[in-house]
Amino acid sequence: MALIKEEDKQLLQSEFNKYLRDDVDLVVFTSENEDCRYCKEVVQICDELSETSEKISVKRFVFEKDNDECKKYGVTKYPAVAVTKHGETSGRIKYYGIPSGYEFGSVIEDIKMVSTNEAKISAKAMEIISRIDKPVSIKVFVTTSCPYCPRAVGTAHKFALANSNISGEMIEAGEFSNDANEFGVSSVPHIVINGDVQFVGARSDEEFAQFIMEAYNHSTQA
């Protein structure tokens, strides 16, 4: 059974025909282990998205077997999806867990953003993140039923597109409860930057960028 409704596929075809410019890869990492609850669904979602535009391709890897690819894309768990420009091996824009519910919209926006290489960022926030010259990792813990989470995911991902030193990961808190417990996640979106600076809730570009700079300053002083 299809996971994307036919009428939604038609809307996506129209949307992608209008906005997509460069080819995009959805790089999927799954596992052969039975503990991967949503591996099949993640692959199916990506396959169905690829059917809506010839500019979208799916690459599939197995977490336990494709160690080199895991390293290239910075993948540490499964299921995972990296959204990249075709042929690039960048894992800066990633999803850990099934990108369904409200997060399905995040994937659509990321596909358009990566294809056009255009991230809508306020001038002040851009000025702040342009000063980041060392790796910064952003984890955004979400649930797929959270209506406020896509904004936080989108901000992390557009910052990652704008600065190659920044990576942004969506992590579905229910699927990765150990990770969520490690950082004391009790409500979402819960954002963790460099494992150090944390905040809860969707913020403006400028506020989010200030938290990134705080984490960056901590790392440079360590």
**What is 141-160 written as a DSSP string?**
EE-TT-SSHHHHHHHHHHHH
178 exposed, middle or buried (CB, 10 Å; 0-12, 13-18, 19+)? Answer: exposed
CA pair distance 174, 209, nearest whole angstrom? 27
Structural domain spans, the chain? 19-116, 123-221
Is the predicted pLDDT of residue 114 greater than 80, yes or no?
Answer: yes
Each residue's pLDDT tens digit, 57-83: 999 999 999 999 999 999 999 999 999
pLDDT band at 220 (very low <50, low <70, confident <90, very high): confident
User: Is the fold of 19-116 the same as that of 123-221?
Assistant: yes
What CATH number belongs to 19-116?
3.40.30.10
Checking DSSP bridges between strand 136-142 and strand 190-193, what pairing results, if any? antiparallel
Is the predicted pLDDT of residue 144 greater than 70, yes or no?
Answer: yes
pLDDT band at 121 (very low <50, low <70, confident <90, very high): very high
Fold of the CATH domain 123-221: Glutaredoxin (3.40.30)
pLDDT at position 222, please?
Answer: 60
CA pair distance 23, 58, nearest whole angstrom? 11
Each residue's pLDDT tens digit, 7-37: 999 999 999 999 999 999 999 999 999 889 8
206 exposed, middle or buried (CB, 10 Å; 0-12, 13-18, 19+)? Answer: middle
**What is 5-58 written as a DSSP string?**
-HHHHHHHHHHHHHH--S-EEEEEEE-SSTT-TTHHHHHHHHHHHHTT-TTEEE
- The mean per-residue pLDDT over the stretch 128-132 comes to 98
